[in-house]
């Protein structure tokens, strides 16, 4: 049987792949595993979601599963994923459940689990949960059934936490924030205003159907146009669950996750907060980030793709900053997962502290041309083993030599293979990427 948990929880088409029955089973198994790990008290679970319509259905199933297995449930409603992780720790819960498919289209949904303290579950515990789903232990009855209550001030607690850890007030900064009609639609504008910024909010009216619909971090043209229209200093674009953000400067130029990490890394180095003067990024980060960090005297460690691998490296080394080109940025001193709102506040705080525009700050790094093509395939595992693909990768890599690189990797959530090529010019990178994409798409 294929592993149920992917790189970021359980995800699929809601009510088809991810059914209420499956959600209930996952939640009940998680509660039972937790109860077996610690028999000193009744497990407490915290449940949040993004605003997509299927989240209402899946929330009901998850809450039922948890309480039916004897866990008390704290329901926090629509909140960003990092808010759920924070509240797990702040409220002393044993597990957190976030119902979201992040940047995916509205019909999809997902279930992310957090352990006590707000940390992502290790693979071993996820495997335990999968095994527990196959057994049918007796259910509690009477007073042993879990109870459910709502946490009315959950958003307030999260925003106040963000404000306490923002190093500089944001007066004088005008920001456009694209909330993707997602989980940040209330919290992000609230946090940025309370930090002192002038805020123009767009796509902050979720109706359950419009999440990520031609807006947010996957459609930067929307926030770019709004920045130019309103004469803002920058734009921030979140994804559906707000665990990441991308930015545009006052001229509408994209500032991606690599550049955001570069700005924050230099700021933390200057403040003496960057442990071992080291940044952690994934193999997808642009070569330009490596060059920029070397010039700034900052070491760069690389991991596999996925914020969980960045987190593992950060925790193993006791390091202070890491993230992904996609805009997942982790500051372990303040958050246990990627937090788009925290990232945006740090970026704007650096602007306010230095008085420099975002374009100048982001100029610490020059991006090498990078082309990424997502190739839909029937079976990504077959592609990974195909010799014609490996031969083509070796050939292109040899042609590029030290002036570029090639990376092929399967998506963790979809039947896609991502083909990435960096080179000295966009034309060379695109030609090589299309050539490789053609080979990948021909595999059956």
Q: Return the CATH number at 411.
A: 3.30.310.50
Is there a domain that residue 116 lies in? yes
Q: Are residues 223 and 301 in the same domain?
A: yes
Which domain covers residue 250, as residue numbers?
Answer: 167-362
> How many other C-beta atoms can be found within 10 angstroms of the C-beta atom of residue 162?
26
Q: Are residues 140 and 173 in the same domain?
A: no
User: 88, 120, 154 — which closes off a domain?
Assistant: 154
The owner of tokens 């490596």 is 290
* Total count of domains within the chain: 3
Q: Are residues 387 and 313 in the same domain?
A: no
Q: Are residues 288 and 173 in the same domain?
A: yes
Which residues in the chain show pLDDT less than 70?
A: 1-2, 7
Is there a domain that residue 103 lies in? yes
Is there a domain that residue 201 lies in? yes
Q: Are residues 224 and 350 in the same domain?
A: yes
Q: Are residues 48 and 66 in the same domain?
A: yes
Is there a domain that residue 4 lies in? no
Phi, psi of 96 (to 5 degrees): -120, 145
Phi, psi of 331 (to 5 degrees): -120, 95
User: 342, 362, 382 — which closes off a domain?
Assistant: 362
Is there a domain that residue 1 lies in? no
The owner of tokens 């002192």 is 196
Residue among 304, 305, 342, 291 nearest 321 (CA): 342
Torsion of CA 266, 361, 190, 197, to 10 degrees: 120
Q: Are residues 182 and 295 in the same domain?
A: yes
CATH number of the domain that 315 lies in?
3.40.120.10
pLDDT the model gives residue 31: 92
Is there a domain that residue 3 lies in? no
Is there a domain that residue 5 lies in? no
Angle, CA 241 vertex, CA 239 and CA 246 arms, to 5°: 30
CA 81 centroid distance within chain: 8
Tell me the C-alpha distance between 426 and 416, whole Å. Answer: 23
Is there a domain that residue 159 lies in? no
Q: Are residues 210 and 348 in the same domain?
A: yes
Q: CB–CB of 119/190 below 8 Å?
A: no
Q: Are residues 302 and 374 in the same domain?
A: no
Q: Are residues 351 and 413 in the same domain?
A: no
Please tell me which residue in 54, 100, 102, 285 is annotated as part of the active site. Answer: 102
pLDDT the model gives residue 35: 78
Q: Are residues 25 and 49 in the same domain?
A: yes
User: 362, 381, 407 — which closes off a domain?
Assistant: 362
pLDDT the model gives residue 2: 62
Q: Are residues 358 and 384 in the same domain?
A: no
> How many other C-beta atoms can be found within 10 angstroms of the C-beta atom of residue 16?
9
The answer to whether residue 102 is catalytic is yes
């Amino acid at each position: 049987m294929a592993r149920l948990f992917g790189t970021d929880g359980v995800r699929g088409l809601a009510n088809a792949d991810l059914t209420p029955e499956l959600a209930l089973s996952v939640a009940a198994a998680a509660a039972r595993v937790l109860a077996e790990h610690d028999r000193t008290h009744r497990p407490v679970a915290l449940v949040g979601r993004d605003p997509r319509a299927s989240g209402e259905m899946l929330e009901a199933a998850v809450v039922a599963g948890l309480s039916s297995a004897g866990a008390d449930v704290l329901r926090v409603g629509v909140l960003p994923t990092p808010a759920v992780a924070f509240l797990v720790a702040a409220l002393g819960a044993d597990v957190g459940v976030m119902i979201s498919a992040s940047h995916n289209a509205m019909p999809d949904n997902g279930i992310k689990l957090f352990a006590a303290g707000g940390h992502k579950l290790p693979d071993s515990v996820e495997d335990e949960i999968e095994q527990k789903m196959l057994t049918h232990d007796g259910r509690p009855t009477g007073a042993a059934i879990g109870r459910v209550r709502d946490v009315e001030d959950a958003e307030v607690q999260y925003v106040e936490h963000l404000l306490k850890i923002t190093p500089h007030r944001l007066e004088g900064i005008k920001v456009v924030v694209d909330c993707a009609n997602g989980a940040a639609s209330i919290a992000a504008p609230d946090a940025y205003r309370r930090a002192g910024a002038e805020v123009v909010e767009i796509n902050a009216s979720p109706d359950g159907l419009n999440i990520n619909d031609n807006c947010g971090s996957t459609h930067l043209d929307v926030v770019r146009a709004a920045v130019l229209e309103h004469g803002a200093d920058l734009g921030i674009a979140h994804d559906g669950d707000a665990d990441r953000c991308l930015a545009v400067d006052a001229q509408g130029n994209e500032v991606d996750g690599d550049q955001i990490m570069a700005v924050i890394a230099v700021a933390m180095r200057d403040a003496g907060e960057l442990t071992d003067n080291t940044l952690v990024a994934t193999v997808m980060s642009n070569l330009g980030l490596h060059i920029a960090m070397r010039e700034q005297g900052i070491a760069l460690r690389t991991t596999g793709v996925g914020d969980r691998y960045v987190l593992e490296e950060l925790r193993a080394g006791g390091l202070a900053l890491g993230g992904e080109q996609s805009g997942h940025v982790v500051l372990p001193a303040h958050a246990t997962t990627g937090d788009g709102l925290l990232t945006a506040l740090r970026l704007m705080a650096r602007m306010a502290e230095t008085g420099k525009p975002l374009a100048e700050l982001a100029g610490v790094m020059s991006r090498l041309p990078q082309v990424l093509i997502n190739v839909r395939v029937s079976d990504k595992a077959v592609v990974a083993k195909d010799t014609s693909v490996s031969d083509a990768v070796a050939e292109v890599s040899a042609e590029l030599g030290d002036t570029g690189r090639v990376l092929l990797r399967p998506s963790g959530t979809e039947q896609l293979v991502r083909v990435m090529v960096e080179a000295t010019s966009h034309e060379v990178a695109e030609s090589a990427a299309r050539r490789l994409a053609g080979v990948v798409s021909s595999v059956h």
